[in-house]
């Protein structure tokens, strides 16, 4: 089995199973030409036109954004109105810095001009223009201030993308007609971004195309996949596939890594990057592939950052990286930005019940140990996400009646159990975890085999359903809880099929592919989220019986951790992303429109909530929902959550 893993590892590198605002899209930003470095002209300070959307009575902090400067100048700015709505008495409060406070007192448009300390010539200073559009006061959503993103059209002209204003002015290399790239930098958070589009690709499915680009990324820099294949959609319905990678390397920066990918993956030069990036030896890379099947056009979004900064929940690095890679900024060309404010009342706690279905064959012993090593982090991140969770671990058997829940006595592990993480580490390992003599636990027994996690998921779920009225809460699903399956195996899906599903073809389907579809549909219809730690065995798209486990996981909007290449660090990183997905799916704070996630501003009652993975709010793109982390801002029952954001209003077609 170990030698087979080396074969699988080599295979994996090539496989991949509101109110109308009238805000214009063309903001007058002239993207920097990212041609050969010697062709880039000397730096000349330029203003980035800024547009802000707010409400009457809201306190707004306006910023003058000057690009292409080698030495920022924090003082010497003079602020004034050029125009104001009739009867407005609003004023600008400034101490001469590059920002000013402003409160709109009338509905309408305010034009602000800022004289900067940067000289255009000996007679005049650079002046910046800021437009503020003030909506009427609204008692349901009384206050917001949103700065319009930087919108850039990708070189092929079919798609456009919205960058949060903190990114540098996009640099474009249009290539030679077959595709091009757009790059931007966020040195304050150590994140570098790359967007590449391509000439129309017809006759190819998204998974195959994503596999091609993910393979190029992996081959270019030696990145190892962490979690593969989570699907989503852009605001206008283009399907995307998102995968996460880790990289260990010699000391370098995110921009050097991004520039290497631009050259190796797209064959193009991104031009000189912004200064201020720190060096690191391990990185997170997110790769999102989008394909419009109607036109064959699409794009690849890549974002990179040092892993230590990504994992540091006190920093904004992970938020900044994921706002690019989640695809909420991507849309077909011609869509315009609009603003809305959504009010949601908090009514319940966030709950989730997990089942881990674990292959207990001898070849899985080291992989079970890796899962055990992640238990502490899994419990910590689930609790930080505010999830009232339980986790149960069951052997991957296939006995038709499922496990005997009474003998020896099944029980979920509570997320509130102070020893819960250790219990999970003990139960997920068939042998003793780290050879600890205190470990007297194993996956809960299920007869009929030990390498059939899909079958185990079905029969265990049915056994729990039969106990729906059981007063012993530990042996049934909790009403209203989000239900999650996590399949763990190093075997192909033929074991599941031969030992369980093919025995009832009337129920699951006569043909192999039919059974893959039928099982995928069963988990979806029953409302389960599905994830896996498994291998990809054959080079073909789903439905594939050999890739049964990964196909089921992907088919329900989940993803998989590639087992053959997973170290402790990759497994921990992959489970962290699964926690994010579960938190999003369990949240009751779903938004009507898909936001450009970087523009989100959230209040709980009258309190402005920071965007934070430690103590504040975050966003899940698949569920289109807000997630509250930490304890300071988590809504209590009866509190109002208000979310204001830009979204894409589609063009008439």
196 bridge partner residues: 181, 300
pLDDT at 245: 96
Which residue is it, tokens 């959230």?
Answer: 602
**Three-point CA angle 488, 413, 568, nearest 5°:** 40
Question: What pLDDT, on the 0 to 100 scale, is given for residue 23?
Answer: 29
CATH label, 150-340, candidates 3.30.360.10, 3.40.190.150, 3.40.50.11540, 3.40.1000.10: 3.40.1000.10
Over residues 547-554, the mean pLDDT reads 96
Q: How far is CA 248 from the centre of its chain?
A: 21
- Confidence class of residue 410 from pLDDT cuts 50, 70 and 90? very high
Host H or E run for residue 533 = strand 528-534
User: How much is the pTM?
Assistant: 0.89
Domain-wise residue ranges, the chain: 45-147, 150-340, 350-584, 589-649
pLDDT tier at 12, thresholds 50, 70, 90: very low
pLDDT tens column, 215-263: 999 999 999 999 999 999 999 999 999 999 999 989 999 999 999 999 9
Evaluate if residue 41 carries a pLDDT over 90: no
Indicate if the pLDDT at residue 177 is higher than 60: yes
Q: What tokens does 256 get?
A: 């050097």
Domain covering 45-147: architecture: Sandwich (2.60)
Alpha-carbon span 297 to 200, nearest angstrom: 4
CATH class held by domain 350-584: alpha beta
Rounded average pLDDT over 611-636: 95
Tens digits of residue pLDDT in 97-122 = 999 999 999 999 999 999 999 988 88
Name, in order, each residue with C-beta under 8 angstroms of 386's C-beta and a sequence gap of 6 or more.
350, 583, 627, 628, 629, 630, 631, 634
- The Cα–Cα gap between 540 and 521 comes to 20
pLDDT per position as a tens digit, 497-515:
999 999 999 999 999 999 9
Mean pLDDT (whole number) for 3-9 = 34
Q: Which of 22-36, 430-444, 462-476 has the lowest mean pLDDT?
A: 22-36
pLDDT of residue 15: 40
Residue 6 has pLDDT above 60, yes or no: no
Q: Is 3 a residue whose pLDDT tops 80?
A: no
pLDDT at 96 over 90: yes
pLDDT of residue 8: 33
Q: Which residue has the tokens 């000391």?
A: 251
Q: Is the pLDDT of residue 9 over 80?
A: no
pLDDT at 248: 92
* Residue 446 banded pLDDT, cuts 50, 70, 90: very high
Confidence band, pLDDT 50/70/90 cuts, at residue 360: very high
Six token digits for residue 58: 């809201």
With cut-offs at 50, 70 and 90, classify the pLDDT of residue 39.
low
Long-range contacts of 116-125 (CB under 8 A, 24+ apart): 116/45, 116/47, 116/64, 116/66, 116/73, 116/76, 116/77, 117/73, 117/75, 117/76, 117/77, 118/45, 118/66, 118/69, 118/73, 120/45
């Amino acid at each position: 089995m170990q030698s087979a893993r080396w074969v699988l590892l080599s295979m994996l590198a090539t496989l991949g199973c509101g109110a109308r605002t009238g805000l214009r899209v063309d903001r007058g930003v002239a993207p920097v030409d990212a041609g050969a470095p010697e062709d880039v002209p000397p730096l000349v300070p330029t203003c980035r036109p800024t547009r802000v959307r707010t409400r009457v009575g809201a306190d707004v902090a306006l910023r003058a954004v000057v690009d292409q400067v080698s030495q920022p100048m924090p003082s010497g700015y003079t602020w004034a109105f050029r125009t104001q709505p009739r009867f407005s008495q609003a004023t600008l409060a400034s101490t001469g810095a590059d920002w000013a406070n402003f409160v709109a007192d009338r509905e309408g448009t305010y034009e602000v001009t800022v004289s900067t300390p940067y000289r255009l010539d000996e007679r005049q200073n650079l002046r910046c223009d800021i437009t503020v559009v003030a909506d009427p006061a609204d008692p349901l959503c009384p206050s917001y201030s949103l700065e319009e993103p930087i919108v850039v059209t990708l070189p092929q002209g079919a798609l456009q993308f919205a960058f949060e204003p903190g990114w540098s002015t996009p640099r474009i290399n249009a290539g030679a007609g077959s595709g091009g790239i757009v790059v931007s930098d966020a040195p304050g958070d150590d994140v570098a971004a790359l967007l590449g589009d391509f000439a129309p690709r017809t006759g190819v499915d998204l998974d195959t195309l994503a596999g091609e680009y993910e393979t190029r990324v992996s081959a270019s820099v030696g990145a190892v996949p962490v979690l593969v294949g989570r699907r989503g959609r852009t605001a206008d319905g283009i399907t995307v596939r998102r995968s996460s990678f880790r990289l260990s390397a010699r000391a370098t920066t995110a921009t050097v890594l991004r520039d290497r990918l631009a050259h190796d993956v797209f064959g193009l030069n991104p031009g000189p990057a912004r200064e201020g990036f720190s060096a690191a030896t391990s990185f997170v890379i997110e790769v999102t592939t989008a394909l419009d099947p109607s036109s064959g056009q699409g794009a690849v979004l890549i974002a990179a950052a040092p892993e230590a900064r990504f994992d540091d929940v006190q920093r904004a690095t992970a938020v900044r990286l994921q706002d690019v890679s989640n695809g909420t900024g991507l849309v077909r060309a011609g869509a315009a930005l609009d603003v809305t404010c959504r009010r949601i009342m908090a009514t319940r706690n966030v709950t989730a019940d997990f089942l881990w279905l674990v292959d207990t064959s001898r070849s899985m012993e080291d992989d079970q140990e890796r899962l055990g090593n992640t238990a502490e982090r899994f419990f910590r991140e689930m609790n930080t996400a505010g999830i009232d969770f339980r986790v149960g671990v069951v052997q991957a058997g296939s006995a038709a009646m499922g496990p005997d829940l009474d003998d020896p006595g099944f029980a979920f592990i509570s997320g509130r159990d102070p020893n819960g993480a250790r219990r999970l580490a003990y139960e997920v390992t068939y042998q003793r975890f780290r050879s600890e003599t205190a470990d007297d636990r194993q996956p809960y027994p299920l007869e009929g085999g030990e390498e059939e996690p899909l079958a185990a998921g079905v029969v265990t779920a049915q056994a729990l359903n039969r106990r729906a009225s059981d007063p012993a809460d530990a042996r049934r699903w909790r009403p209203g809880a989000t239900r999650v399956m996590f399949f763990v195996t190093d075997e192909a899906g033929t074991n599941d099929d031969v030992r369980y599903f093919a025995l009832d073809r009337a129920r699951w389907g006569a043909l192999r592919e039919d059974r893959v579809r039928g099982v995928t549909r069963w988990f979806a219809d029953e409302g389960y989220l599905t994830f896996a730690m498994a291998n990809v065995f054959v080079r073909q798209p789903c439905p594939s019986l050999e890739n049964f486990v990964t196909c089921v996981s992907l088919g329900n909007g989940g993803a998989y951790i590639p087992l053959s290449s997973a170290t402790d660090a990759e497994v921990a990183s992959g489970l962290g992303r699964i926690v994010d997905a579960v938190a999003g799916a369990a949240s009751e704070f779903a938004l009507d429109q898909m936001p450009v996630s970087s523009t989100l501003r959230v209040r709980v009652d009258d309190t402005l909530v920071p965007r934070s993975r430690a103590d504040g709010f975050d966003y899940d793109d698949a569920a289109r929902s807000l997630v509250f982390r930490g304890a300071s801002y988590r809504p209590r029952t009866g509190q109002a959550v208000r979310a204001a954001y830009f979204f894409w209003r589609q063009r008439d077609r």
